[in-house]
């Protein structure tokens, strides 16, 4: 078994090119992570999930044509083993609750430090959940008791 076999296979889904490339660059430096794809849309993400069978997708909420919540619902149906962490500029309660109901196990606000995103990836892939401090209350409100 080589080192990449034990890595968490991550796909980045965001419609902003500089966000995608910045995340790819940063996550590629993190031990234990292998970025297997970077895409700009939900449609591309579904195709990549079919082809690559990633462990986790980092999903932006605010995308055109298919938003991150819609993508998460489809992923849960087609690829239930793929974990989803929402990565969004929105910290409003409605987005957090909709994301959780769609099947996301994590939610990190884009302004969070890199360490927090890495903690979310680790927690979610270990079977838990992770919600950035600014959204924990909304997550607990609908019964997510294992929030980090």
Q: How far apart are CA 88 and CA 137, in angstroms?
A: 17
Residue 119, classified by CB atoms within 10 Å of its CB into exposed (0-12), middle (13-18) or buried (19+), is middle
Task: Spell 25-49 as b/e; 16+ CB within 10 A means b.
Answer: eebeebeebbbbbbbbbbebbbebb
- Which residues of the chain carry a pLDDT beneath 70? 1-6, 134-148
**In whole angstroms, how large is the CA radius of gyration of the chain?**
14
pLDDT of residue 1: 35
User: How far does CA 117 lie from the centroid of its chain?
Assistant: 9
Q: C-alpha distances in angstroms, 3 versus 23, 33, 116?
A: 21, 10, 24
Under a CB-based contact definition with an 8 Å cutoff, are residues 117 and 96 in contact? no
Long-range contacts, 125-128 (Cβ 8 Å, 24+): 125/8, 125/55, 125/56, 125/83
Q: How far apart are CA 39 and CA 15, in angstroms?
A: 8
**Domains along the sequence of the chain with CATH:** 3-141 (3.40.50.2300)
pTM of the predicted protein model: 0.88
């Amino acid at each position: 078994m080589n080192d990449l076999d034990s890595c968490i296979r991550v796909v980045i889904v965001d419609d902003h090119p500089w966000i995608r490339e910045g995340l790819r660059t940063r996550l590629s430096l993190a031990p234990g992570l292998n970025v297997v794809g970077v895409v700009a849309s939900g449609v591309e993400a579904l195709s990549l999930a079919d082809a690559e069978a990633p462990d986790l997708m980092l999903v932006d909420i605010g995308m055109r044509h298919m938003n991150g919540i819609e993508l998460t619902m489809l992923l849960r149906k087609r690829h239930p083993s793929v974990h989803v962490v929402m990565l969004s500029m929105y910290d409003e309660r409605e987005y957090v609750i909709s994301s959780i109901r769609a099947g996301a196990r994590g939610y990190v606000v884009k302004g969070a430090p890199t360490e927090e995103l890495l903690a979310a990836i680790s927690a979610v892939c270990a079977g838990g959940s992770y919600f950035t401090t600014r959204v924990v209350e909304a997550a607990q409100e609908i019964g997510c008791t294992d929030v980090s």
